[in-house]
Each structure stands twice: as structure tokens, then as C-alpha cells.
Amino acid sequence: MTTAVNPPAREAGRLLVGFDADDTLWQNEQFYRLTEDAFAASLADYCEATDLSERLLAAERRNLALYGFGIKGFTLSMIETALELTNSELPGHIVGRILEIGREMLRHPVDLLPSARETLEALAGRHRLVLITKGDLFDQERKLAASGLGPFFDGIEIVSDKTELTYQNIFARHGIEPDRCVMIGNSLKSDILPVLGAGASAIFIPHDLTWIHEHAEKPEGDPRFFEVADLSAVPGILQAIA
Ligand SMILES: [Mg+2]
């Protein structure tokens, strides 16, 4: 005889809730913008750099497949752009300056976004919370440790990219069906579209500063897509989904 088994009461309504980190839980892009200003200043005496941002972005995009996301790849792309702009006559001390501003980024303090701690505190224990972030492993581990948010998470996933397959693998590894999974983040391209593609729900929290590479069109008419202004609205949405 088989008996239908209901999940234990405490499991009922429990979701896997994925959180992006950079510019969802803590500030990130602002440090890239400040660094780009410092980079432009370091080159001011050596070249006309009116299209510096475009050239730097082009170098980053060229190098993504080799360097991956993160500050170390960004630093190498700054050096490459500087060589390009100076016809390879970049003085050594400017290379040293670029390396230094890259290291400063790797030391930047972790600045939590509003309601980050309170939201995680409210959700911990009620849902399975998983941090899903991409970038340099070492840098993401540093920021997580400095954030003090680590204890709220049941799992940490530092991945090289966020594709539909990345999310399918994460959901499968946690043994949770995609329709019981929700991802929260500031990037339509990385945190929202591939998640919806994998069959889960997604909550978009726009950030004023989002890297142009992460821009994408908003999904239309998808009942599993939500948009809120900040993290404090997340528990209410999860309650509706659960
Ligand atoms: Mg982000």
C-alpha cells in the first residue's frame, strides 16, 4: 500500500531563494565608476581619451571569455586599453598606477544596500537561501566575509557566469524543482532572463548603476517575473509565490 506523504509542515511553502550579491546586497558598480575616473586621470598627460569608456568596455568584452568577470580581468583590460591609446608607448609608472588602482578596488569596503541584512534575517530558516554570484572567487569570498551576511545562507555559489544551465545545475544540486525556486537580482541579463528560462521565478531590483554589459529587455507578460524597488518588498512577494 502506498500512502500519499505530505511534506512536513515546516517544509510547506519553503522555496529556494537565490540572491545575487553585487548591487543587490552590496554596492559594487560605483567602485568600477570611480576606478574608471582614476584610470582616465592617470592617462590624462599621455593621450586624448574622449572615447575611453567605449574602448575599455570593448576590451572587457573581448577578454570576458578568457579572464571571466571581476576586478583582475578589469585591471588587465585597463592596461590593454592604455597600451592601445598610447600606441604601446605607455610609461612603466602608469602601468604601476593602473595596477595600484586595481588593487584599491580589491580592498574596497563592503557597503550593504538598504534592507539587505533585515531581509535575509526575516527569510533565513523559512526558505533555503543561496547566494549566487559571479566574479573573482577570492574577491567574492572577501566581500561575503566582510559583509557579515554569510550565516544567513544555506549555500554559496560563486560561478563563472550565470546562464540558464548554471541555474538548472544549482537547482538540481539542491534537489528543488525550478518552480519552487526564485532568484533576486539587479541584472536582467544574468539574474532574471536565464532564471525564467530555467523555469523559476525572478525578482528584479533595479540599481541606479548597472554595468551596460548587464542590460537586457524586460520580459513582458511573464507571471513569474516581478519587479520591486528594494529588498524590503521581497518577503511579501515570496509569500505570494510560496
Ligand atoms: Mg549584480
Domains detected in the chain: 16-26+110-241 (3.40.50.1000), 29-106 (1.10.150.240)
51: Cβ contacts below 8 Å, ≥ 6 apart = none
Q: pLDDT for 69-114, tens place per residue?
A: 889 999 999 999 999 988 898 999 999 999 999 999 999 999 999 9
Average pLDDT over the chain reads 91
Is the Cβ–Cβ distance between 40 and 126 less than 8 Å?
no
Q: How far is the CA of 9 from the centre of ligand 1 (A)?
A: 34
Q: Across residues 217-230, what is the average pLDDT?
A: 94
Rounded to the nearest angstrom, the distance between the alpha carbon of 239 and the centre of ligand 1 is 23
> Across residues 224-242, what is the average pLDDT?
95
Cβ atoms of 16 and 182 closer than 8 Å: yes
Query: Among 170, 214, 177, 201, which Cα is nearest to 22's?
Result: 214
Q: How far apart are the first and last CA of the chain?
A: 31
Mean pLDDT of 24-31: 94
Mean per-residue pLDDT for 127-150? 94
Predicted confidence (pLDDT) per residue in 162-214, tens digit:
999 999 999 999 999 999 999 999 999 999 999 999 999 999 999 988 777 77
Ligand 1 midpoint to CA 187 (Å): 6
pTM of the model: 0.86
Q: How far is the CA of 21 from the centre of ligand 1 (A)?
A: 6
Radius of gyration of the chain (CA): 20
Task: Say what the pLDDT of residue 102 is.
Answer: 95
